[in-house]
Amino acid sequence: MADSRGPTNRSRFDGFDEWLDALSSAFVPLDVRAADPRAFTGKLDSQALGLLRASQVVAQRLVARRTPQMIRLSDPGHFKLNMPIHGSCILSQDGREAVLEEGDFTICDTTRPYDLALDDDHKMLVITVPRELLRIKPENLSTMTAQRIPAGVGLGAVVSPFLRNLFDRMQRHDFAPSVQLSDVVLDLLSASLAEQASLLSTIEPESLHRARLMQVQAYIERALGEPSLDLNRVAAAHHLSPRALQKIFQAHGLTVSSWIRDRRLERARKDLIDPHTAHPKIGAIASRWHLGPPAYFSRLFREVYGCTPSEYRALDEAARR
């Protein structure tokens, strides 16, 4: 059983048996069959994620089975999130079958048998979650295994890019694990599973609000360049009343309008110093991000960044010389 608070482990394996031993140690004992064990090469990188553990698995086509005999041998009582980054896979448990394409994800329960079939040359993100940490009532968990959470729908559209970014950072070794980060993963995972099972009302309100906040913020980020973006539009897009949406933001010391304004200002700040553009006029940048006439934009920019847009651009140009 892997200690989720342990150090990072990064290893490449040229032999199938050695890789299988490392895989079983990182997760749980598995019966794994490779298409060609003699030509097998694989990789397993594992990183503590607060109270969780995130791993990236790279290998060729294989089938893995968690059998009743192996459960009796070792039963840590974990859930495993599985998300293919490259390739596809099929996970079967509790009479259900989740067919996952890149970015989709699902969970399996290590205390019960399951099968996992992986495509050729796959990359997989696996997050190991102690079952007591999921913000879901135990009696509801059995309905959520092997349920496909699609990458582009509902909360899956928030969780999938979040986890893909996590995977990319693991590959770059640019990773700062923390309990706060694991809390975000748990909130998002719990809410997306409950949404897929139509059990959102059973999630702890605080976890649901945090997940909803991230979902709304992601929507706002995609729509910053649209002039019609405002409280009413965002609320309608998420089937919430404006008052309910404001409450979600206020619980975190924010408002919808200030969040939209601040994100637009940040986009404008990046445009001011983007080396790949021909230094567009400040008025054009203000117009692009719907930040009012140049004088208003300049005053707003100074309030946030301590200098005018012109001064900020000049400072950046001086620093580049």
C-alpha dihedral (289, 291, 297, 302), degrees to nearest 10: -80
CATH number of 9-222: 2.60.120.10, 3.40.50.300, 2.40.10.120, 3.40.50.920?
2.60.120.10
| pLDDT bracket for residue 5 (50, 70, 90) | very low
Q: pTM here?
A: 0.78
Q: What pLDDT is attached to residue 50?
A: 81
The secondary element (H helix, E strand) that includes residue 52 is strand 52-59
Listed residue (57, 71, 62, 143) closest to 114, CA to CA: 71
Q: What pLDDT is attached to residue 77?
A: 84
**pLDDT per residue as tens digits for the range 143-159:** 899 999 999 888 999 99
Burial of 173 (0-12, 13-18, 19+ CB in 10 A): exposed
Percent with pLDDT over 90 in the chain: 49
The encoded tokens of residue 313 equal 């651009």
Which residue ranges make up each domain of the chain?
Answer: 9-222, 231-320
Dihedral sign from CA coordinates of 158, 160, 163, 165: negative
Partners of residue 52 on adjacent β-strands = 49
**pLDDT per residue as tens digits for the range 105-127:** 999 999 999 999 998 788 999 99
| pLDDT bracket for residue 175 (50, 70, 90) | low
- Measured in whole angstroms, the distance separating CA 215 from the mean position of its chain's CA atoms is 11
Q: What pLDDT is attached to residue 4?
A: 39
CATH number of 231-320: 3.40.50.740, 1.10.10.60, 3.40.640.10, 3.40.190.10?
1.10.10.60
End-to-end Cα distance, the chain? 54
Average pLDDT rounded to a whole number, residues 125-136: 89
Average pLDDT rounded to a whole number, residues 73-89: 90
Statement: residue 41 has pLDDT above 90:
no
> Running DSSP on this structure, what letter comes out for residue 76?
-
* Tokens 């619980």 belong to residue: 251
What is the rounded distance in angstroms from the CA atom of residue 317 to the CA atom of residue 7?
A: 42
